[in-house]
Amino acid sequence: MKPIAVCATVLLSMLAQPAAWCAQLDVKAALLRVDASLAKEQGSLLALYADLHAHPELAFAETRTAALLAAQMRSAGFEVTQGVGGTGLVAVLRNGSGPLVMVRTELDGLPMQEQSDLPFASRTRTQYNGADTFTAHTCAHDMHMSIWVGTARAMLAQRSNWRGTLMFIAQPAEERVAGAKAMLADRLFERFGKPDYGFALHTMPGAYDEVLWRAGAMTSNGSALNVTFLGRGGHGSDPSTTIDPVMMASRFVVDLQSVVSREKDPAAFGVVSIGAIQGGSAGNIIPDQVALRGTVRSQSDAVHERLQQGVTRTAQAVAAMAGAPPPQVSFSVGTRSVMNDPQLTARTAALFNQAFGDKSVQLSSAWSAGEDYTEFQAAGVPSFFFGLGIYEPKRMAAARAGGEQVPANHSPQFIPVAEPTLRTGVRAMSLALLGVMGTAR
């Protein structure tokens, strides 16, 4: 396999970014070095993954998780600072003059119970919104963290082949889209330097030997939706004396889908989903109010605004039709689309194509999920955010051919095949870093 000339692809961007310089990367040799590190570290990395999976923690409560990662990074030779933005941590490794490059992972799990037969399945319980609940890594942040540590070790093992400073950050509260802001508010870049480049990955439905990427928008805009219908409670046997908020909520859940199907361009991505309905205390009591929580997703600011307007108008119409007071409708600040830097995407995708062949998959559309990694981009960090498959290739091929669908992120069955997902992730992330930091050795 011939070395790939990075300079030719990104010469103009190099001139605009003095922190970077031209280099040639021998992809085959680089992967051999990464694989040598993985051969030594695989057992400990899989043990770390099992530990993290068994002990998930919720947003801004990731104390055990952060301490475990801090110990891992200190033992690898990184300078570690804990308590950044709450429970976040920053691990820095300096290796001569060159670019400052950030690698982000997330710390938090989800308030739900996994459904797996893994020997290290999570049985952890905690309090969430005043109720006792299970917690689980059903978005595979445990896999992200394990890849993060594995990449740090792989880069350390070949430090003679790259130059610059690595800044590995472990971010709290990604699921609440609050952790990136918290770290930036804690003067992340003022204290540790503003990165010349940033990288992050996220597991998603795909084969475990695939890396998935695209230029431009990689994720979607997202806002949390809260609606409370106000009624007049009473006895379930005499509904004519009430204004039933359960009926309003039920009608609203169905009617708002007409906003999606009739008020936006059918070719434009847009989703409104209701994930929680809370109201009532007994089967024979009509309550005074019912609260709903949901999400609005899009890949266009104009579509997002149109969806929010339609949701608000539909809620108001449902209440008016029932003769009820106006509902309470709010949209909390959400995420904007992660936008992959064009030059960095061209460079890294070329490396992925050479390393993984047809398993380097260019996505035709952005992922529907949202990500608060956008906060780092908004702060001025050119970035490349890519996806990583987690399922057996045959199972994924069958699903793509119209067979049984695989569980998606946040499903209780969203569990990676640990190996070789871990291996693919470390290889891809290490290669991405060497693409901007590697020397011609």
**Strand residue runs (E) in 135-252:** 164-171, 197-203, 211-213, 216-217, 221-230, 234-235
Split at pLDDT 50, 70, 90, the class of 8 is very low
Average pLDDT value for residue range 334-363: 95
Start-end ranges of CATH 3.40.630.10 in the chain?
4-219+337-437
The answer, yes or no, to whether residue 384 has pLDDT greater than 90, is: yes
- CATH code reported for the domain at 221-335: 3.30.70.360
Read off the pLDDT of residues 30-40 as tens digits, 9 standing for 90 and up: 999 999 999 99
Read off the pLDDT of residues 72-105 as tens digits, 9 standing for 90 and up: 999 999 999 999 999 999 999 999 999 999 999 9
Start-end ranges of CATH 3.30.70.360 in the chain?
221-335
Residue range 4-219+337-437 in CATH 3.40.50.300: no
Helix (H) or strand (E) holding 400: helix 393-400
Read off the pLDDT of residues 250-301 as tens digits, 9 standing for 90 and up: 999 999 999 999 999 998 899 999 999 999 999 999 999 999 999 999 988 8
Where do runs of H (alpha helix) occur along 214-280? Answer: 245-255, 257-262
Read off the pLDDT of residues 136-148 as tens digits, 9 standing for 90 and up: 999 999 999 999 9
Give me the chain's average pLDDT, please: 93
The answer, yes or no, to whether residue 14 has pLDDT greater than 80, is: no
β pairing state of 360-362 and 211-213: parallel
Question: Chain centroid to CA 89: how far?
Answer: 18
Q: What's the CA gap between 48 and 260, in Å, rounded? A: 43
The answer, yes or no, to whether residue 342 has pLDDT greater than 80, is: yes
Q: Are the C-beta atoms of 246 and 290 separated by less than 8 Å?
A: yes
Read off the pLDDT of residues 406-427 as tens digits, 9 standing for 90 and up: 999 999 999 999 999 999 999 9
Q: Cis before residue 420, ω within 30 degrees of 0? A: yes
pLDDT of residue 300: 84
Q: What's the CA gap between 295 and 301, in Å, rounded? A: 15
Read off the pLDDT of residues 39-79 as tens digits, 9 standing for 90 and up: 999 999 999 999 999 999 999 999 999 999 999 999 999 99
DSSP string over 186-212 = TTHHHHH---SEEEEEEE-SSBTT-EE
